Structure 1
Amino acid sequence: MLTMRPIGVFDSGFGGLTILKEIQAKLPQYDYIYLGDNARAPYGTRSFETVYQYTLQCVKWFFEQGCPLVILACNTASAKALRTIQQNDLPVMGEAKRVLGIVRPTSEVVGNYSSNKKIGILATKGTVLSNSYVIEINKFFPEVEVVQEACPIWVPLVEYGEYKTAGADFFIKKHIEELFKKQRNIDTILLACTHYPLLAKKIKEFVPVDVTILSQGAIVANSLRDYLHRHKQMEESISKNEKTMFYTTDDVTNFNYQAEIFYGKHVAAQQLHLS
């Protein structure tokens, strides 16, 4: 049997598959486990404590599967749970284990894309309320003005397959207009939800042509590659069989169908029952 010490990739649902896809494009040699906590999604409307408890439970499961490194490929989990897990839980789980998120690596570079230092954030309500992007971006780019817009209907539009329809235009246009009302000179928009890359074409229809629209997948993949280059012991501990396993806490048939939309190819998931 192959000895598996994969990289764990976690999301509350399907969106993290857009991150996994980009990570694998940059780092195909490693093994991966993807878990979507679809039975308890969405996380974006839940309290900080609930998101923390759900995320911690899933992180512990990844460690039980032999993962030395877990990526929270979910903006809400990264914003609401990552810091507490890193500070309070990891010290008692073992020094060799690591959990990384996607807010910080995105924040470290997003300011480089803006010429006039005015950046818009489109995200779930939970991510916006956490204020994580405003705080983190201003650490690295204190001169940047960050404005946010919560788009609570966008995730359901994607997951119910309505994101390409004319009906979706109303909700996309509405939130783009609200964002630009807050700052009309935005030149860079960050899609701070892993579902939103599927809406990128629609979003482009309602923003000025010179506005840069950023998805997180490639940014996170480059950051992970750099992290593993700098942490040789961690890199060497990850198994390299080019194998990927998929799990969902909800219906497998539906997960496989939806996952193909986000991931770009067929997957065969297993169901996980979390107690």
Structure 2
Amino acid sequence: MTNKHPIGIFDSGFGGLTVFRSIVAQLPQYDYMYFGDTSRSPYGNRSFKTIHQYTWESVQWLFAQGCPLVVLACNTASAKALRTIQQQDLPNGYPTQRVLGVIRPTAEVIGNYSESKEIGVLGTKGTVNSESYLLEIAKFFPEVKVHQQACPLWVPLIENGEHDQPGADYFVHKYLDEIMAKSDSIDTLLLACTHYPLIQDKIKTYLSPDIKVVSQGDIVANSLSDYLQRHKEIEQNLTKTGTREFYTTTDDTDDFDKYASLFYGGEVKSGYVAMK
């Protein structure tokens, strides 16, 4: 059993590193362990059952490394696996550990960004089909109308390093046209996938300057900070030596490190974890 108790950060691939980057910037004192299930990504088009299985296996691996708290820095995993993990898996085997997601923290504040009270949500097919944002935003901002748009080609373009090439512009423009055609009153677009901040500047070039484009990194970091202040029993169990460890299910760690560094904004040196 390790004497280190880091905060675990999980994502199906690289995207969660944009959230991890914001969390580390705001809460640098803690130890962290990032786990990217890159050999089985993307999760966006998989079934609820498969996403739950993959996510829960990864969360249990992080628990085994000493993480008492894991953040699912992945919208698809948060949409399709978090509820089952919190309501069934944790009580049955890990009653003292905690798993948090990115959807609820975002839903709690996103309505404050919109003056027109009409918001567009851009996400993977899995996140959109789950309707998690429709349900969660309605709890906190029942007056806000939410329009959704799946952007299935954005993650593959980003993870293959093609997002800054001219060929990507067609698909960026295509999905933005589709979401904006749903209402003339949309004044806020939520990037409901942690990969999308890498194309945020490109997205803005195809939008009116008065449309707000909101990414999740700082939102999730603020929420985690608040959570730790309110749950001292968790916070006091976390070690604080400022270490950052990275792990991937891809055996070519050099390839993972190259792309991960783009998302994280700094050097990444990862270790390999074999999953079934």
- TM-score by length of structure 2 reads 0.98
User: Matched residue of 1:234: which SS?
Assistant: helix
Aligned match of 1:185: 185
Q: CA deviation at 1:60?
A: 0.7
5 Å-filtered alignment, 1:39-50, equals: 39-50=39-50
Structure 1 residue runs without a partner (length 5+):
none
Which residue of the partner structure matches residue 257 of structure 2?
A: 256
Spell out the pairing of 1:160-175 with structure 2 (5 A cutoff): 160-175=160-175
| Partner of residue 117, structure 1 | 117
Alignment deviations for residues 181-227 of structure 1 (CA, whole Å, 9 cap, x no partner)? 11121000000000000010110011111001000000000000000
- RMSD in angstroms over aligned alpha carbons? 1.1
Cross-structure match for 1:146: 146
How many residues were matched structurally?
Answer: 275
Give 1:229's aligned residue. Answer: 229
Hey, which bits of structure 1, 4+ residues long, moved more than 6 A? Answer: none
State, as a whole percentage, how many aligned pairs show the same letter.
58
Where structure 2 has 5 or more consecutive residues not aligned to the other structure, the ranges are: none
Q: Describe the SS at the equivalent of 1:182.
A: coil
Distance 1:216 1:241 in 2: 26
Aligned to 2:105: 105
Which residues of 2 match residues 50-69 of structure 1 at below 5 A? Answer: 50-69=50-69
1:93, distance to aligned residue in structure 2 (A): 2.1
How far apart, in 2, do the equivalents of 1:112 and 1:204 lie? 20
1:161 alignment partner AA = G
Per the TM alignment, residue 163 of structure 1 is displaced from its structure 2 partner at its CA by 1.0
CA positional deviation for 1:103: 0.4
Comparing 91-100 with 262-271, greater Cα deviation is found at: 91-100
Residue number in structure 2 paired with 1:19:
19
TM-score, normalising length from structure 1? Answer: 0.98
How many Å separate the matches in 1 of 2:156 and 2:86? 30
C-alpha distance in 2 between matches for 1:146 and 1:19: 23
Deviation at 1:94, TM superposition (A): 3.0
Structure 1 distance, partners of 2:78, 2:214, is: 18
Task: Give the equivalent residue in structure 2 for 1:74.
Answer: 74
8 Å Cα contact 2:3-2:66 kept in structure 1: no
Any idea what the Cα deviations from partners look like across 1:106-154, whole Å, max 9, x if unmatched? 0000000000100000000000000000100011000000000000000
